Amino acid sequence: MEAVIKYKLFFLLLSVFLFSCGYETITPYIEEDIALPEKPLRHELTLIAAGDNLFHITLINKSFDEEKDQYNFYPIYSEIKEIIENADLSFINQETVMAGESFGYSGYPLFNTPQSLARTLADTGFDILNIANNHTMDMGRAGLLATLDLLEKTESVTVLGARKEGESHKIIAKNSIKLGFLSYTYGLNGHALPADSPNLVSLINREKIKKETEALRPLCDFLIVSMHWGDEYLLIEPDKYQKDLAVFLAEQNVDLIIGHHPHVLQRVETLERRDGGKTLCFYSIGNFASHQREKERVLGGIMLATFIREGEDLFISNSGLIPVICHFEPGYVNTKVYPIFNYNEELLGKHLLRFLDSDMDFDFFHSVLRRLETKIIMYNPFN
Same domain, 248 and 354: yes
Confidence of residue 34 (pLDDT cuts 50, 70, 90): low
- Establish if 380 belongs to a structural domain: no
Same domain, 76 and 215: yes
CB 256 within 8 A of CB 315: no
CB 227 within 8 A of CB 235: no
Confidence of residue 33 (pLDDT cuts 50, 70, 90): low
Average pLDDT over residues 137-164: 97
Same domain, 30 and 52: no
pTM above 0.75, yes or no: yes
- State the pLDDT at residue 9: 42
Same domain, 109 and 167: yes
Same domain, 268 and 321: yes
Provide the domain count of the chain: 2
pLDDT in tens, 51-73: 999 999 999 999 999 999 999 99
Same domain, 92 and 31: no
- C-alpha to C-alpha distance for 184 and 246, rounded to whole angstroms: 13
CB 126 within 8 A of CB 90: yes
- State the pLDDT at residue 40: 84
- Establish if 376 belongs to a structural domain: no
- C-alpha to C-alpha distance for 90 and 288, rounded to whole angstroms: 13
Nearest Cα residue to 380 out of 330, 328, 324: 324
Tell me what the pLDDT averaged over the chain comes to: 92
Instruction: Give the number of other Cβ atoms within 10 Å of residue 211's Cβ.
Output: 13
Same domain, 32 and 50: no
Same domain, 213 and 130: yes
CB 347 within 8 A of CB 333: no
- C-alpha to C-alpha distance for 51 and 365, rounded to whole angstroms: 17
Same domain, 1 and 26: yes
- Establish if 171 belongs to a structural domain: yes
Same domain, 20 and 128: no
Range of the domain at 20: 1-36
Reply yes or no on whether the pLDDT at 6 is more than 50. Answer: no
Same domain, 290 and 222: yes
